[in-house]
Structure 1
Amino acid sequence: MGRNRSGRVRDDSPATGPGEGRTHTQGPLIRTVGSGTAELHPDRDRPYGWQLLVDGAPQSLVDLADPTHLGFEYQRRLGHLIDLAAPPGRPITALHLGGGALTLARYAAATRPRSRQQVAEIDTALTELVRTELPLERGWQIKVRGADARAVLERTPEGSVDLVIADVFSGARVPAHCTTVEFAELASRALAPDGRFAANIADGAALPFARAEAATLLAVFPEVCLIADPAVLRGKRFGNLILAASHQPLPLAELGRRVASDSYLGRIEHGRPLTDFTAGAAPITDTTAAPSPTPPPTAFH
């Protein structure tokens, strides 16, 4: 689901070459971290691939030999937004709210060399586990701060980043204080004039949380779109939805082509269809906020 959270500046972290780190012959690893029980499981389809779970919820999928591999549906869609954040290969400045196994930061570092990236991951024990067992490559400019995601966003200088990605989960739920108009306004303030905000959320059934989150971003940004599996949009299953927002027009045509070319089914809602999707939901504020819904017991099986 992408249960990524928040982190701490570490310039002395282990750095390796491609493919170095924990090997499949070492088998799974289970450790207690600040947010619960973290598990690293080998990916049977990729010799250097590892899946991170926390308390049984899938958080991240990393291939140490190929950081451009994005195996989860939500990661692929956020990867498209990284790809479209600037012309191909151009460095960007990115703020990742939620770290997990740093999959998306690795992807941006590999596809956009010299990018400057900061990651907020509140679970410092999880960050240490990831850095030790799934280390970053030498030369990547990725700093991790061990602090609450919103607190890091509040301290981010105005107009300083090209892309803010919110993938903030506490357990399997988006925490209430990272769902609001006030949170979105902080993201808007941090962005450069042509910068973009993207958020990974999860919902199911009648999608009340997703509808309210769309309304929340529409209250702050003039341009918003939503990407999701049609079955999720129809309330047929619990799953991830990606919201993207900007003060400038979004690259909808190219984004649509990339979503259509994925092996995962996906649909983009924008403009009037997105307004209709909100179904009159009120924007979420700090005084009305609640965490995203708890996934059903079968969500990860």
Structure 2
Amino acid sequence: MSAAGSVVRVGRARGGVEDAPQARLSDGTIARIIPSPVTGGHELVVGETPQSHVDLDDPTHLHFEYVARMGAVIDQLRRPGQPLTAVHLGAGALTIPRYIAQTRPGSRQQVIEIEPALVDLVRANLPLPRGAAIRVRIGDARAGLGRLPAALTGNVDLLVSDVFAGAQTPAHLTTVEFYTAASALLAPEGVLLVNVADGAGLAFARRQVATVRAVLPHVIVLAEVQTLKGRRFGNLVVAASAAELPTQWLPRLMAAGPHPAKVAQGRELDDFAGSLTPVMDAAAIPSPMPAPSLFGH
């Protein structure tokens, strides 16, 4: 067995691709980069969970639906094409940082990722665009917030929280205390984007919305229609800000797809979160584990 964090090649990679670039993460999980025969580009798969899709020839190609919805929100920040100051919690294959570097040249971006072997794997096999101002810092996402440059506090246009250990978001990244620390970085009109994965009934997602709303008053949720109805496991994008999220966003977000999509806001979001108590550190739990069959196994 290779030492934790080393680059390895083991067995047969997902999708029948042999000798795919692979790395063993600190918990023993294998991360792989495999060609995507249907969409083009490459997928980062951690364990058996697809984590990211990257198209080196077209960084604006956002294949995963929830990532495309994040991109649609990002497109509405400030003026079109204007550089952003962004912080990303969780690196994956750096899909969103690449998208921002392509669509908003001159943006300054910080990424916090706990797995150095994952970062090395991605950098070696899916190199970042030349000239992209993307700094990757190794460490826990929540602890890393306190180690970012002090000048970022109150000046971040976009903070993306998309952290998964395997297929679950760690408990300490789901709480009022965490979102309070994250929101302190935001500029007055800065936006927090959170990827929330949940299944039937959406018990976890509903409490996440209640938790985010306890910290930032203006919140919308974007998701595929059946996912938002709690009928199947999927990803919901929570967008939140201290400033009002302009209603003119909504038609553009809906038109941007993927379809069928829905944006929940206002009274509908009140009903969605109900009277649920926000999650505090003492009672936090990870996001639910999806069924193995979700990823074709």
For the 8 Å contact 2:201–2:231, the answer to whether it is kept is no
Residue-by-residue CA offset, 1:27-63 (whole Å, 9 max, x unaligned): 733332335111111121455x001100010100000
SS at 1:155 equivalent: coil
Partner residue of 2:220 out of 219, 225, 232: 225
Aligned to 1:38: 31
Q: Distance in 2 between matches of 1:197 and 1:261?
A: 19
CA distance in 1, matches of 2:37, 2:103: 25
Identity, % of aligned positions: 49
Alignment of 1:238-253 (within 5 A): 238-253=233-248
What secondary structure sits across from 1:216 in the alignment? helix
Tell me how large the CA RMSD over aligned residues is: 1.6
Does structure 1 residue 278 correspond to structure 2 residue 273? yes
**What per-residue deviation string (whole Å, max 9, x for no partner) do you get for residues 132-172 of structure 1?**
00001110000000011011223343203111000011110
Corresponding residue for residue 13 of structure 1: none
2:291 pairs with 281, 291, 296, which one? 296
Q: Which residue of 2 aligns with 1:159?
A: 154
- Structure 1 residues 207-251: Cα deviation after superposition (integer angstroms, max 9, x where no partner): 111000000011111101111111112221100000010011113
The partner residue of 2:129 within 120, 133, 137 is: 137
In structure 2, the residue matched to 1:19 is none
Distance of 1:171 and 1:130 partners within structure 2: 17
Gaps of 5+ in 2: 1-16
Give the structure, 1 or 2, with the largest relative contact order (CA under 8 Å, sep 6 or more): 1
The answer to whether the 8 Å contact 2:39/2:63 transfers is: no
CA distance in 2, matches of 1:197, 1:219: 13
Which stretches of structure 1, 4 residues or longer, exceed 6 Å deviation after superposition?
none
Shift of 1:257: 2.5
Aligned amino acid, residue 189 of structure 1: A
Give, as a single letter, the amino acid of the residue that structure 2 aligns with 1:277: F
Which digits, 9 at most, give the CA deviation of each residue in 1:111-138, with x for residues without a partner? Answer: 0001000001100000000000000111
1:6: which partner in 2? none
CA distance in 2, matches of 1:206, 1:62: 31
Counterparts of residues 16-35 of structure 1 (less than 5 Å): 28-35=20-27
Going from structure 1 to structure 2, the CA distance change for 1:252 and 1:155 (only over 3 Å counts) comes to: farther
CA contact (8 A) 2:176 2:280 kept: yes
Superposition map of 1:87-166 within 5 A: 87-156=79-148, 157=150, 158-166=153-161
Q: Which runs of 5+ in 1 are unaligned?
A: 1-24
Matched, 1:197 2:199: no
Which range is displaced more, 108-117 or 253-262?
253-262
Structure 1 residues 256 and 153 mapped into 2: Cα distance closer, same or farther (>3 Å)?
farther
Give the number of aligned pairs: 276
Compute the displacement of 1:253 (Å).
2.8
Amino acid at match of 1:283: P
Paired amino acid for 1:200: N
